[in-house]
Amino acid sequence: MREEAGADLSGLTTLGMGGTCALALSLDSREDLPALEARRKELGLPCYVLAKGSNILAREGRHELVLVRPCFGDEPAIASAAAAGAAEGAWPEGTVFVSCGAGVALPRLLAFLRDAGLSGMEGLAGIPGSVGGAVAMNAGSFGCETGACLASVEVWNGEALVRIPRGDLEFGYRSFAVKGAQKPVLVVSATFALTLAPSRGIAERMQANLLAKKSRQPVSARSAGCVFKNPPEGPSAGILLDKAGFRGRARGGVALSEMHANFLVNRGGGRAEDAFALLGEAREAVLAKFGVALEFEVRVLPCRSF
Ligand SMILES: Cc1cc2nc3c(=O)[nH]c(=O)nc-3n(C[C@H](O)[C@H](O)[C@H](O)COP(=O)(O)OP(=O)(O)OC[C@H]3O[C@@H](n4cnc5c(N)ncnc54)[C@H](O)[C@@H]3O)c2cc1C
C-alpha cells in the first residue's frame, strides 16, 4: 500500500479543482486490503474511494478525509462461469465471462473486448475512468449501462473479499449498491457477461459512439462529464440549462460549455467556489423557469463513502 500525505484533489480529478485531503492510500493488490483496515482504524478519519476522479467535483480547502485509491490492475481475462459466480442456466448458452481489476481503465477493457470479439459494452465507448468507477456509478451512454452487463463483483467488506452475484446487486440511474448493505462497498474486480460477435462490427460501433460524443460534447476539455442528472421525464438537463440561458455561461475560470450546457468545464485556473456558485445559479434558474429541481450527477467531495 502506498501512502501520500496532503493528496491534492486538483491533480487527482479530471476537473482539476479542489483542495487537499489528509492522506491518500493507494491499493495495488488484494494483499493490501488487511493493511488498509489496520491503517483506517489507526487514522480514525472518514474515507472516500477515489479512482480516476472523472466524476468528482471537489471543494477547496483542507479536508480531514482519507482517499482510498483502488489501483487493482488485474488485466481483463476470460473467466469460467464458476469463477464468474454465475449459477448454472442463469445466462444464455454461449455467454462469455470476462473479469477485470477495478483499477483498469474502462477504455482498456473495451479495447480487450473489441479485440476478443466480445459484444455488449460498445455503448460505453468514450467514458473515461476506471472499471470500478463505471460499476460504482453504473456509468452508461447510448442506452447501455455498466450494470446491465455485470455477472458479479468482487468487493471488500472491511473484513473479507466476497463475490456478489448479479442477483444481489441493485442498479439505478448512476447508482449501484449491494442489496442490504448499510454502506457503499469497495469494488475490487468485476466480471462481465458478453456475447461473441465479429471484432470489426464491435470496432465500428465503438467508433461511431466515440464520434457521436465528440460531435456533441467537449470531450477534450477539463470536465467531469454531465454535471446534473437528467430529470426522470421531459427535456434533458442540458436542454433545460440551455433554455434557462446557461449555455456558455462563465464565472471565473469555470463555465457551462458552449457545446453542451450540462458539461461544467475548467477553462484554466477554475476554482470550486466559482463552480458551486455558477451551478447554484443555474439550478435556481431552471427551478424558477421549469419547476424542475436538478440533482448532481457528479459526486461532490468531501463526502464519506466507505
Ligand atoms: C469527458 C467525460 C465524459 C463522460 N461521459 C460519461 C458518460 O457518457 N456516461 C457516464 O455515466 N459517465 C460519464 N462520465 C463520468 C465518469 O467518467 C464516469 O462516472 C466514470 O465511470 C467514473 O469513473 P472513475 O474511475 O473516474 O470514478 P471516480 O470519479 O473516481 O469516482 C466516482 C464514484 O465512484 C466511486 N468509486 C470509484 N471506484 C470505486 C471502487 N473501486 N469501489 C467503490 N466505489 C468506487 C467513488 O467513490 C465515487 O463515488 C464522463 C466523464 C468525462 C470527463
Are the C-beta atoms of 294 and 246 separated by less than 8 Å? no
Angle of helix 199-216 versus helix 106-116 axis, rounded to 10: 150
Residues in the chain with pLDDT values less than 50: none
- For a substitution probing ligand 1, which of 36, 54, 57 has the most ligand atoms within 8 Å of its CB? 54
- pTM of the predicted model as reported, rounded to 2 decimal places: 0.96
Give SS3 for 168: helix
What pLDDT does residue 302 have?
A: 85
Residue 184's pLDDT is 85
pLDDT at residue 70, rounded to an integer: 97
* Whether 99 contacts 54, CB under 8 Å: no
Query: What are the residue ranges spanned by the domains of the chain?
Result: 2-70, 77-213, 218-301
Q: Quick one: which of 112, 113, 189, 197 has its CA closest to 151?
A: 189
- Lining ligand 1 with CB less than 6 A are 14, 48-56, 70, 102, 127-130, 132-134, 136-137, 139-141, 186-187, 219, 223-225, 299, 305
Beta strands 175-178; 169-172: pairing state: antiparallel
Looking at residue 275, its pLDDT comes to: 97
pLDDT of 73: 92
Q: Please provide residue 52's backbone torsions phi and psi, each rounded to the nearest 5 degrees.
A: -90, 0
Per-residue CA distances from 236 to 1, 110, 256, 269 (Å):
42, 27, 15, 29
Give CA–CA dist 221/15, Å, rounded. 9
For residue 280, what is its C-alpha cell?
447554484
Which stretches within the chain are classed as H helix?
9-12, 32-43, 81-84, 106-116, 131-137, 199-216, 237-243, 272-290
> The domain 218-301 is classified under which CATH number: 3.30.1180.20, 3.90.78.10, 3.20.20.120, 3.40.50.300?
3.90.78.10
Q: Which atom of ligand 1 is nearest to the CA of 50?
A: 30
Give me the residue label for grid cell 475490487: 188
Q: CB of 231 within 8 A of CB of 295? A: no
State whether the Cα torsion 293-299-304-306 is positive or negative. Answer: positive
Mean pLDDT of the chain: 95
What is the reported pLDDT for 81? 87
What pLDDT is recorded for position 304? 66
Q: If you classify domain 2-70 with CATH, what class do you get?
A: alpha beta
pLDDT score recorded for residue 40: 93
Domain 77-213: give its CATH code.
3.30.465.10
